[in-house]
Structure 1
C-alpha cells in the first residue's frame, strides 16, 4: 500500500465496503459522541467520515487531534446505517473505522476558522491565505477558475487559435495606466516595464504572419484600487485575428464565451445571441456602457412633455440651454408615495437636489397621476407620459433633468437602485451583450485638448477619410466591449493598421510623428512592411470567474491577492531593497518626508 494513501477523501463509495483503505488529509472537524470519536477528514477531492472507538489502538492518539491537523488514517470501509447516511456528500454512504492513525503535521491554534467559514477580517484572511484557501467555498472557486481556464484553452484551440507567449519585460507605454517599472542592472538609469497588456506584441504577431493568436496573459497596472479590479495584476484571455472585420471577431468569440458560461452556469439561462447596443444608446437607456440587462428598466427621453409646461423648474431648464434634457426612469410596482419619497431621499444622499416623480393609482374607475409634478403639468401631459412609458396602476416614473453628460452616471445608479429595491432583477441568469460604436476621441477638460477615449490603436470608422471629414468628438471607432450582468468582461477593436491613418489619428490627439516613432516605433515600423487588417479583444479571466461562481469580490476567485492598499500581507510585499541591491541597480532613494 502507498505510504500515504490508497484513495483520496472523495473516492470511497458503497462498492468499497469491506475493503481496507488508507487516507491522508486534514481534520475538517472532530465530534465526540459519547465514546465514539468522529473525524471528518478532508483533502483536495472531498471529505470522508472516519470513526474510532475506545477498543481501537488508535483511540488515545485520536483524542489528541484538533482541527486542521494533517493525518494519515488506515481503516475498514463500512456502510453507514440508513439513518446516518449523508446525501450531501459523495462519500456519505460509507465511513472508515480507524485501525491506525499517524499525525503527519500538527497544527497550532488557528488564527481563523476553516470549518463553517464564518465572516472574518480580511487582513487576517490574507495574512493566513494558505488557511483561508482551505475553506470550502474559496477552495472550490479556485478549482473552478482552473477549470474555466482549461475550458477556454480548449475552446480557443477548437476554433483555430494557437497559444503564444509574449514578453513580460518590455518597454514603458505612455498611454493607459501607470506602468510597473523594473530597473535594469546592465543598463544603468534605464528601466523595463511590466506589460499593461500584450497589445503591441499581439499586433506584431499579426505582422509576423501568425493568423489567430491567443494567450492567458498576466497584465500589470500600477493604478489605484478599484472595486472591479485587484491592485497590481490580473489575467486576461488575450486574442488577435488577421484579415477580419468587426463582425468576424463577434462570430468567432461569441460562441466561445456563451458556451463557456453555459458550461459553468449550473443550468442558469445564458443569452443565446448577444444584442449589439451602440454606446450612445446604452448611455441613454441604461445610464452606463456596461448595463445589467437582467434589470428590465429602460430610460426614455420625455423632454417634449415638459416643454412649456406648468412645472417651471423643468420648463425653464429646457428653455435656457438646448443641451438640457429630461429623462424618465419607469418603475413598475413603485407606485407608492412611501417608495417615491425613499428614492427622493436616496437621491439627496447622492448629492442631487432630489428626484422628481409621478405615481399612478386608481381613483374609482379612473387612473390618475399623483405627486407634485403631476399637479403642475396637468392630467393630459401626465397621461401622455404614462402611455409613452407603458405604465399602469401601482407604477411610478422618476425624472432626471439637466445636461445628460453631467447626470448620466447618476441616472445609471438610480436605475440600479430602483431595480434592486423593487426586486425587478432576475439574478439567476447571465445576460451578455456587445457594446459597439465607442467614440474615438473625448475632450480632456483638464488639458483642454482632444484625447483618445479608449484604445489609441483602434481603427476609426471611415478610416483616413473619417479622420479628415468628421468632427473628432463625433467620430466613432471600430471598438467594442462585451458586458455581462453589469460588468465589462471583454474589450477589443479592429486595429488601425495603416501608417498614414495612424499618424493622422495620433496627430489629432496631439502626438507628433516623432512621439509616435519613439513610443510605438516597433509597431509603427512594422505597419510599413505589409500590415494585414486585424483585430481582436481581451476578456477578463478574474471577472468571468467571479460571475460564474457568484462571488462579489475578485479576491474570492484569486489565489494570493493583495489587499486594497496593494500590500501582500502573506509574503510581505512590497518590501525594502538592501543597500547592495540598490547599489547594483545604481538607484538612490529620494523618499517623501514622514507625514
Structure 2
C-alpha cells in the first residue's frame, strides 16, 4: 500500500499473524474492559479491524479522543482468541505499539450514530452527508453507482459508441420542464440555460457524421422532487445512432442492460432479449399505466357494461374498471387501508367486493350489484374466493386509478407478484399529439422531435389525435427508465408537425435554428434513448428513494442543506451580470 499504511482495515488475515503493520482510519468505538484493557474498532473505506489496547498508558492516550477522529495504528497482528466469523478480519487483531492522532473530531456528540445514520431524519442526514456517507451501508450505494457507470461505459464502447461530451452552457429550449438560467456578464440581458438533456446536441452530432454517440450526461431541470426523481440535476446514459431505426436502439439496450442488472442487482435474473413490447393504448387498457410492473400477473378489466347502470352513483355515466385477484386474504382493516392508499395515490376513490365460497357477491359495494350478479361474474370471469377492486371516472382517471389498484392488490394477494427479478418491457406507439390537461389545446404528447408514423402523409390526412409516433419508453419493474424516439430529421415534416400545434416555420427556425439548418444539409435518419442512471442504480440497490444512491443529493424542496444552496450572493456579483432583484415580500399575518 501507499500513503501512511501498510494494509487496509479489511485486508489482514490469519496468515498475516506476526507481521508489524500500520493501519489508518476512523476511531469507531472503544469497548473498555479495564484501565489497561480495551477493544478499539478502526474503520476505513474498506472495512474494520479490531485493535486490542493492553497498556494503561495507551488507554489514557485514547481516552481523551472522540470517536470519528482519524488515527494511525502501528502494531503486531495476532490471532484472536474469540473469533468473529461475520467479519473478514474476524480471526485477527492488532496489538498497537504506537497510536497517532491524525485528525481530531472536536465534538463529543455526533448528529447521529454513524452505523445507524439511515434511521435519522432525512434533512439531518443531508446536512451532515459527509458523516452519513461514512456508514458502510450508505457508502456501498455510491460504490455500486461507480461500478455500474464503469460497466455501462465499457459495454457501450464495445458496441462501437464514442463517448462525446456536450455543452453545459447552452440556450433555453422548450423541452417540457423549467430551465435553470445563467445570466451572461458579457451580453447584458441575455441568459444561458443549463441543458434539460443533450437532445439537440446529440442530434447535431448525427448530422455531423458521427455514427454512434453516448455519454453519462448531466441534465438540469427545475422541477419538484419525487421518490424516483431528484430535483435539480440527474444523470442519464445518453445515446444516439445514425442510420438507425427503433429496432436498432432496442437491440443495443437489450444487449447492454440485462448483464448489468444481473451482475450488480439485488436480484440476479433479468429479462432476456427481446423484451416484451406493449403499445401505449394496450398498456393503459390492460395495466392502467404506461409504466406497468410486469412482475404482477393481474390485468385491468373493463366493467362499464356490466356495472354502469347498477344504481351506484359514482358509476353512472362513467367508465368502470376492475382488478380481480384470488389469494387475497386481507382483513377489512387491510382493505380499507388499500382503498385509502389508492385514493391518495390516484386522486380518485376505489371500491371493492368479494365472491364468497357459494359464489355470492359480498362486502363493499356488493349490495348494488345483486341484480346484475350473474352478468358481473360472467363478464369478469369471477370464481369463489375472488377479490375485486373497482374504480370509475372519465376514461383516463379510471385507467390511472385501476393501475394503482392493480399495483397494490398485486403486492397484497398471494402468488400474483414475482419479487426476485427485473422485468423489462418497451412501451411503444405513443400518440404524437394530445389535448393538454391545463391548456385544453392540442400539444405534443411526448417528444416534439419525434418522427410521426406515416410521415407527411399522416400529418396531412389524419386526425392529429389518431397519429402515433415512433416514440418508446423503457420500463423496468414499474419504473420508467427512459424515453426515446426515432427522430424527425426531415425539415418539411418537422415544420408541418409544429404547424399542427400552432407554431409556424418561423417559430421552428427561431427556437431550433442550429438543428433546423443542419437538417437542411442532408441529415441521416437517426434514433436514440437515454436511460436514467440514477433510477437504474436505485433499482439495482433495491432502494425506494433516489436520494440514497446520489452522493450529495438535494432535499425535497431542491435545497442543498449541507452547502446552503440556493443562497444569496453579493450585490457586486449581481451587478456584474446586470441583474436587479425585484422580490415581493411575503405579507405577515396580523
Question: Structure 2 length normalisation: TM-score?
Answer: 0.93
In structure 2, C-alpha distance between the alignment counterparts of 1:479 and 1:353, rounded to whole Å = 29
Q: Name the stretch that deviates more: 268-277 or 507-516.
A: 268-277
**Quick check: 1:333 aligned with 2:327?**
yes
In structure 2, C-alpha distance between the alignment counterparts of 1:10 and 1:300, rounded to whole Å = 55
Alignment of 1:530-569 (within 5 A): 530-569=522-561
Displacement of 1:420 in angstroms is: 2.8
In structure 2, C-alpha distance between the alignment counterparts of 1:354 and 1:143, rounded to whole Å = 42
In structure 2, C-alpha distance between the alignment counterparts of 1:249 and 1:348, rounded to whole Å = 38
Once the two structures are superposed, residues 487-522 of structure 1 have per-residue CA deviations (whole angstroms, 9 ceiling, x without a partner) of 111110000000000000011111111111111010
Q: CA RMSD in A?
A: 2.3
In structure 1, C-alpha distance between the alignment counterparts of 2:369 and 2:571, rounded to whole Å = 75
Displacement of 1:315 in angstroms is: 12
Alignment match, 1:93: 91
**Quick check: 1:419 aligned with 2:417?**
no
The answer on whether the counterparts of 1:335 and 1:360 sit within 8 Å (CA) in structure 2 is no
Displacement of 1:462 in angstroms is: 0.9
Q: Name the stretch that deviates more: 121-130 or 505-514.
A: 121-130
Q: Return closer, same or farther for 1:267/1:92 CA change in 2, 3 Å cut-off.
A: farther
In structure 2, C-alpha distance between the alignment counterparts of 1:265 and 1:119, rounded to whole Å = 24
Alignment match, 1:361: 356
Q: Name the stretch that deviates more: 519-528 or 298-307.
A: 298-307
Q: Return closer, same or farther for 1:233/1:315 CA change in 2, 3 Å cut-off.
A: closer
Alignment of 1:508-587 (within 5 A): 508-587=500-579
Q: What 5-or-longer segments of structure 1 have no aligned partner?
A: none
Alignment match, 1:43: 44
Displacement of 1:386 in angstroms is: 4.8
Q: Name the stretch that deviates more: 91-100 or 163-172.
A: 91-100
In structure 2, C-alpha distance between the alignment counterparts of 1:353 and 1:485, rounded to whole Å = 24
Alignment match, 2:375: 381
In structure 2, C-alpha distance between the alignment counterparts of 1:230 and 1:275, rounded to whole Å = 28
Alignment of 1:246-285 (within 5 A): 246-273=246-273, 274-285=275-286
Alignment match, 1:506: 498
Q: Name the stretch that deviates more: 428-437 or 204-213.
A: 428-437
In structure 1, C-alpha distance between the alignment counterparts of 2:342 and 2:355, rounded to whole Å = 21
Alignment match, 1:73: 73
Q: Name the stretch that deviates more: 344-353 or 442-451.
A: 344-353
Q: Return closer, same or farther for 1:2/1:75 CA change in 2, 3 Å cut-off.
A: farther
In structure 2, C-alpha distance between the alignment counterparts of 1:158 and 1:232, rounded to whole Å = 32
Q: Name the stretch that deviates more: 440-449 or 9-18.
A: 440-449
In structure 2, C-alpha distance between the alignment counterparts of 1:251 and 1:378, rounded to whole Å = 49
In structure 2, C-alpha distance between the alignment counterparts of 1:31 and 1:100, rounded to whole Å = 19
In structure 1, C-alpha distance between the alignment counterparts of 2:491 and 2:582, rounded to whole Å = 41
The answer on whether the counterparts of 1:337 and 1:359 sit within 8 Å (CA) in structure 2 is no
In structure 2, C-alpha distance between the alignment counterparts of 1:20 and 1:353, rounded to whole Å = 68
Displacement of 1:399 in angstroms is: 2.4
Alignment match, 2:450: 458
Displacement of 1:266 in angstroms is: 4.6
Q: Return closer, same or farther for 1:97/1:541 CA change in 2, 3 Å cut-off.
A: same
Alignment match, 2:477: 485
In structure 2, C-alpha distance between the alignment counterparts of 1:134 and 1:299, rounded to whole Å = 45
In structure 1, C-alpha distance between the alignment counterparts of 2:3 and 2:329, rounded to whole Å = 69
Q: Return closer, same or farther for 1:591/1:96 CA change in 2, 3 Å cut-off.
A: same
Once the two structures are superposed, residues 215-273 of structure 1 have per-residue CA deviations (whole angstroms, 9 ceiling, x without a partner) of 00111011233332111101111000011111110001112111110111255321223
In structure 2, C-alpha distance between the alignment counterparts of 1:315 and 1:104, rounded to whole Å = 69
Alignment match, 2:24: 24
Alignment match, 2:294: 293
Question: Structure 1 length normalisation: TM-score?
Answer: 0.92
Task: Kindly tell me the number of residue pairs found equivalent between the two proteins.
Answer: 579
Q: Name the stretch that deviates more: 264-273 or 148-157.
A: 264-273
Displacement of 1:80 in angstroms is: 1.9
Q: Return closer, same or farther for 1:100/1:335 CA change in 2, 3 Å cut-off.
A: closer
**Quick check: 1:180 aligned with 2:191?**
no
Q: Return closer, same or farther for 1:477/1:410 CA change in 2, 3 Å cut-off.
A: same
Q: Name the stretch that deviates more: 4-13 or 409-418.
A: 409-418
Alignment match, 1:593: 585
Q: Return closer, same or farther for 1:453/1:64 CA change in 2, 3 Å cut-off.
A: same
Secondary structure of 2:425 counterpart = strand
The answer on whether the counterparts of 1:305 and 1:384 sit within 8 Å (CA) in structure 2 is no
Find 2:400's aligned residue among 402, 409, 416.
409
In structure 2, C-alpha distance between the alignment counterparts of 1:253 and 1:347, rounded to whole Å = 33
Once the two structures are superposed, residues 45-96 of structure 1 have per-residue CA deviations (whole angstroms, 9 ceiling, x without a partner) of 11111111126x5332123333211000011111223xx3222222222111
Secondary structure of 1:506 counterpart = helix
**Quick check: 1:113 aligned with 2:105?**
no
